[in-house]
Amino acid sequence: MNSQALPTTSVYATDGADIDTQLQRIIADLPNVNAKLQNATPEEILAWSVDNLPNLYQTTAFGLTGCVTLDIISRMSKERAKRAGIEPKHLVPLIFIDTLYHFPQTIDLAERASQNYAAPMHVFRPEGTDTVARFEERWGPQFWERDEDTYDYLVKVEPARRAYNELDVRAVFTGRRRTQGADRADLAAVEVDETGLIKVNPLLNWSFADVDKYVKEHAVPYNELLNFGYKSVGDWHSTSLPSEKDSGERSGRWGDKAGKTECGLHKDYFKFKVVAEKKLREAELSRKDAARA
């Protein structure tokens, strides 16, 4: 559990309300919150979140936006500690979902960034499989080619939900921005998903140029693959160099999957879970039948 106590200045906790009550009040007040934050700066959105959201974490795959968010939180943590006259402590712990198929550069960046910012990082992997060999022994090689949605559930959606349950996560920062287009074009600053998890998009109002400028001005550590022309980095098998004709910010992701824009983490969890688990049960029965044959 996040050891950071909710600041008593939060209007949602001034009467000593428990976490569930605070969250109910925040969710009920989201229209007002988003009206206030719809044109806010990342610093303003981050400050509101740290001041008001209990059990807050940053879920990140260390994309450029996530790295900038991490840097701003670090600066905020140091500034607040200095004003309070206490030792600085990174205010928002990290959650990193290691799919086992990340580029080596991504794994290296996660470790370097966590150390650089003294940010506690919780790493979660596919259940019961902590290496590619073990994952493919259980599910077969190139599972994403046979059933990409179920693959996404196994390596991203289920580990993320397990992380949220084990850490008692109630709110997370994401790296989504409006200029990334597709399903992200109409983002609000603060959202609540079907599970009750609050998702905050602190850089929603920034363009890629804004993010890139911040990275350069503040020497933010970032994935070195971006230096070679990649624009959005995910698993190695779903990431490619974008074509000259494709200028989208997430170009190069799922290039052979027409229309795909999200990996599952920002889709309806319950619907995704039901379909994936049904397929997994059917696959398990097929394996048992084959073994008996």
Which H helix or E strand runs over 198?
strand 198-200
pLDDT of residue 249: 59
Average pLDDT of span 138-166: 93
Ordered by where they begin, the domains of the chain are: 19-292 (3.40.50.620)
Q: Between 144 and 290, where is the model more confident?
A: 144
In this prediction, residue 102 carries a pLDDT of: 96
Average pLDDT over residues 116-144: 95
pLDDT at 7: 47
Q: How many CA atoms lie within 13 A of 252 on its CB side?
A: 20
Q: Is the pLDDT of residue 6 over 50?
A: no
Angle between helices 42-52 and 30-37 (to 10 degrees): 150
| Residue 213 scores a pLDDT above 50 | yes
- Cβ–Cβ under 8 Å, residues 70 and 58: yes
pTM for the complete prediction? 0.86
Residue 164 scores a pLDDT above 80: yes
CB 31 within 8 A of CB 25: no
As a whole number, the mean pLDDT across the chain is: 87
Count the Cβ atoms, other than its own, within 10 Å of residue 252.
20
Instruction: Inform me whether the pLDDT recorded for 109 exceeds 70.
Output: yes
pLDDT digits (tens, 9 = 90+) for 70-107: 999 999 999 999 999 999 999 999 999 999 999 999 99
Q: What is the DSSP letter of 223?
A: -
The distance from CA 216 to its chain's CA centroid, rounded to whole angstroms, is: 23
Is 293 exposed, middle or buried, given 0-12, 13-18 or 19+ CB atoms closer than 10 A?
Answer: exposed
Contact predicate 144/264, CB 8 Å: no
Quote the percentage of the chain above a pLDDT of 90. 67
Is 263 a residue of the active site? yes
| Residue among 263, 264, 265, 269 flagged as catalytic | 263
* pLDDT on residue 223: 95
Question: What pLDDT, on a 0 to 100 scale, did the predictor assign at position 108?
Answer: 97
The pLDDT, as a whole number, for residue 281 is: 81
The torsion defined by the Cα of 37, 40, 41 and 47, in degrees rounded to 10, comes to -40
Report the alpha-carbon distance of residue 266 to residue 157 in Å, rounded.
9
What is the per-residue pLDDT across 35-70, written as a single tens digit (0 to 9) for each? 999 999 999 999 999 999 999 999 999 999 999 999
